[in-house]
Amino acid sequence: MRATTIFFISAAATLGIAACTQDTASETEPAEQAEQIESEPMEHSGPAVGEAIPADFLTLDATGAERRLDDLVGENGIVLAFNRSADWCSVCQAQLVEFRDLEADLEARGYTLATLSYDAPAVLAEFSEREDIGYTMLSDEGSAMIDAFDLRDPQYGEGSFANGVPRPAILVIGTDGTVRAKMVESDYRERPELSDIVAAVDAL
């Protein structure tokens, strides 16, 4: 594990946040990930702070039920984490499990927690049951919402089973559907600490 700095913007402040990374890719992950360049330009980094999320936001949860923003947000909003895969990305799997310890802190602040990936609902259901996940896991099979948010990772093209995955990103979204804070990584191994996510919410 090594410390690094990830990109963070909020409506209240611009901060550098420390994150931990894993130096080796899972053997089941796309081979090209091991060669990812950390200085890769941050294109496709999602809506800016203050911008509205796509008005047609629509996904499926792990049960296959349709979910819209209105039935996901808490009293003050939602923390929406874009995740590459609960199926084959070991770094993502570790983060998803770690999020179990984040849910209560966000709920106390009036925010819900949800994750979104290109995984099918059945994949999310299996992972959620196995790891005792209580928060909402959203399926964007086909990556329509990932593209609508402009978060598709451009390095995985047609023919790669990672085609359609998002950049790892965390958006704090208000009840009015506007982005209030965001964290987007260029290196899939970089993830913010839970305390940094809570601090981002508290800074609003």
Q: What is the pLDDT of residues 52-88, one digit of tens each?
A: 999 899 999 999 999 999 999 999 999 999 999 999 9
Q: For residue 29, report the phi and psi dihedrals to the nearest 5 degrees.
A: -90, 160
| Structural domain boundaries in the chain | 2-22+47-202
CATH superfamily of 2-22+47-202: Glutaredoxin (3.40.30.10)
The percentage of the chain sitting over the pLDDT mark of 70, rounded to a whole number, equals: 77
Question: Can you give the pTM of this predicted structure?
Answer: 0.80
Q: Give the pLDDT band (50/70/90) at residue 191.
A: confident
pLDDT at 102: 96
Q: Where are any strands of DSSP class E within the chain?
A: 2-10, 17-21, 59-61, 66-67, 77-82, 111-117, 136-139, 169-174, 179-184, 191-192
Tell me the CA distances in angstroms from 173 to 58, 84, 139, one per residue in order.
15, 20, 18
- Cα(15)–Cα(152) distance, rounded to whole angstroms? 24
- Cα(146)–Cα(22) distance, rounded to whole angstroms? 24
Span 110-149, pLDDT tens digits:
999 999 999 999 999 999 999 999 999 999 999 999 999 9
Span 84-109, pLDDT tens digits:
999 999 999 999 999 999 999 999 99
